[in-house]
Amino acid sequence: MIRPDSQKINSNYLDLYDIVVPKNNKLRRMKDIIDFSFIYDEVIENYSITKGRSAVSPVRMFKYLLLKVIFDLSDVDVVERSRYDMSFKFFLDMAPEEEVIHSS
């Protein structure tokens, strides 16, 4: 199941990103320039809006793959780095306190 509003972030700590992720950060610039919403249009037929358990956002999964390629990381490494690298969490549209996916 996929929720259309899965991109909304509710957190009291979002202002941290303005402090720890500089304006000239590569991932911040990519996030500002690229509209990743096209991914939903490509995969929506593979997801149900009403049935099944909640899925991780396809946009977020695509961004994980993008991080993996850009930084030449393994699956385990990209997930581990996403735990502590705030620029990764910012790029992934995650709240600072949000848990990352499992590396499997």
Q: What is the DSSP string of the chain?
A: ---TTTT----TTTTHHHHHS-TT-HHHHHHHH--TTHHHHHHGGGS-SSSSS----HHHHHHHHHHHHHTT--HHHHHHHHHH-HHHHHHTT--TTPPPPP--
pLDDT of residue 1 exceeding 70, the answer is no
- C-alpha–C-alpha distance, residues 65 and 22, integer Å: 23
Lowest mean pLDDT among 4-13, 15-24, 64-73: 4-13
Two structure tokens written together for 33: 């320039």
Question: Is there a contact between 101 and 41 (Cβ–Cβ < 8 Å)?
Answer: no
What confidence tens digit (pLDDT) does each residue in 51-93 have? 777 778 899 999 999 999 999 999 999 999 999 999 999 999 9
- C-alpha–C-alpha distance, residues 93 and 45, integer Å: 23
